[in-house]
Structure 1
Amino acid sequence: MSKDLQPVIYREYIPTGEEFIRLVESAGWQGITKKGSGQLEAALRQSWLVVSAFKEDRLVGMGRVISDGIFQAFICDLIILPDDQSKGIGTGILSRLLKKCKEQDILMVQLFAAAHKSGFYKKFGFEERPEAAPGMRWVSRDSV
């Protein structure tokens, strides 16, 4: 019998900066933790929606939406602790984030997927942007 039978509880919960750093470090994401727990927690608090997943009282994952609440939404920071991946937790979080976007009739919901994770998002109706309209990000900060 599997020891992993604890139910997963999903709720709107903004992780503390320390909890967020633990998730980010578990994912191996680089550079984010340099902001420090205080600034990271402030950033999370400015999210439109944060859904967190718990096993008992232990935070095992989270995802969030940044949005104007009407037209644009961006899903970011969908992170599940490595030992809890492939157990439906990411699906539970993403489903809840998308449900809220659908309820608000948000026209454009976008995201960046981690390497080799686009298949997960395609199951929810996401598609990769065409070459004729690729996404971009600002990296040359000395340009202004």
Structure 2
Amino acid sequence: MRGLDSDAAYVGSVLDSIEGACVLVGHSYGGSVITVAAAAKENVTALVYIAAFIPAEGESVLQLTEKYPGSTLGPTTRPVQYPLPDAGTGTELYIRQEEFPAQFAADVPAETAELMAATQRPVALAALQEPATAAAWRTIPAFALLTTEDKNIPIQALSW
């Protein structure tokens, strides 16, 4: 959750180490990652998107969130600045803990949602802004679970 190309390259390196067929499954931002990672990987036989972004080549997660109505993610996030190795700064986004259960975990027990809120891993804003360099779903069989109650991803961004 640092950068789309680097995240996809990491997943791609894992795929290179696996003998035999693989099915990649992505959730949320992970949909973008598998979309790019599976490109040119002969051992990937299917892609499965579970409440996940499905970008076309050149689209970013942030563009898809803003392109269609329905997402309430933006107002629920809390940006935090962090230092980068090159002396610059980056921005990470957290879902505010008090809003996390309703925003991201409405269908899980309250105690579980509270734990998820407290232990969530932030996403780098840069990762959400980075456009997909490939759209593997164009050439690999793909399946998607469309979630009509998702508050993060607009329903139109959950399909191709």
TM-score (ref. length: structure 1): 0.27
TM-score (ref. length: structure 2): 0.25
Bigger relative CO (Cα 8 Å, ≥ 6 apart): 2
